[in-house]
């Protein structure tokens, strides 16, 4: 059986770069650093409604584009155990005297 001419396996990063290229062109060559979640949503809506892309194709595009999305500048901080004890009024972590017997 003859092999098809000029066929090469797809490079591992190629599908991601193809989605990035299409995303950038869709947004008139804006840099991904200037865009965020709303632009990704617009691109996915375009794929769904105007390109009739399947759900799996949209998921593939989303997975490829998520690393380009802007992250919030401030993320909430998880309290340390010491700060939780202080917030609960237990000070340095020793049991507060409440007058009730320990169980």
Digit-coded pLDDT (tens) for 65-91: 988 777 666 556 676 777 777 777 765
Whole-angstrom Cα distance, residue 103 to residue 98?
13
Taking each helix axis as running N to C, give the angle between helix 14-26 and helix 37-49, from 0 to 180 degrees, rounded to the nearest 10: 90
- Give ∠ CA 24-28-29 in degrees, rounded to 5: 50
Residue 75 Cα distances to 72, 78, 82, 87, angstroms: 7, 10, 20, 20
Tell me the whole-structure pTM to 2 decimals: 0.56
- pLDDT category at 98 given cuts 50, 70, 90 is low
Digit-coded pLDDT (tens) for 15-53: 678 999 999 999 999 988 889 888 999 999 999 999 999
Whole-angstrom Cα distance, residue 27 to residue 18?
14
Which has more confidence, 9 or 32? Answer: 32
64 in any annotated domain:
yes
Q: Are 11 and 43 in contact (CB under 8 A)?
A: no
The pLDDT, as a whole number, for residue 33 is 86
23 in any annotated domain:
yes
CATH of the domain at 44: 1.10.150.130
Residue range of the domain that includes 62: 14-68
The pLDDT, as a whole number, for residue 49 is 93
Q: Are 16 and 64 in contact (CB under 8 A)?
A: yes
76 in any annotated domain:
no
102 in any annotated domain:
no
Taking each helix axis as running N to C, give the angle between helix 55-65 and helix 14-26, from 0 to 180 degrees, rounded to the nearest 10: 90
Q: How many structural domains does the chain have?
A: 1
82 in any annotated domain:
no
């Amino acid at each position: 059986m003859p092999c098809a001419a000029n066929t090469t396996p797809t490079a591992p990063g190629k599908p991601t770069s193809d989605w990035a290229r299409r995303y950038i062109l869709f947004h008139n060559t804006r840099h991904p650093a200037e865009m965020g979640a709303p632009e990704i949503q617009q691109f996915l809506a375009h794929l769904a409604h105007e390109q009739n892309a399947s759900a799996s194709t949209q998921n593939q595009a989303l997975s490829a584009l998520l690393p380009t999305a802007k992250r919030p500048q401030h993320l909430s901080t998880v309290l340390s155990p010491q700060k939780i004890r202080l917030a609960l009024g237990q000070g340095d972590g020793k049991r507060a005297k409440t007058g009730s017997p320990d169980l």
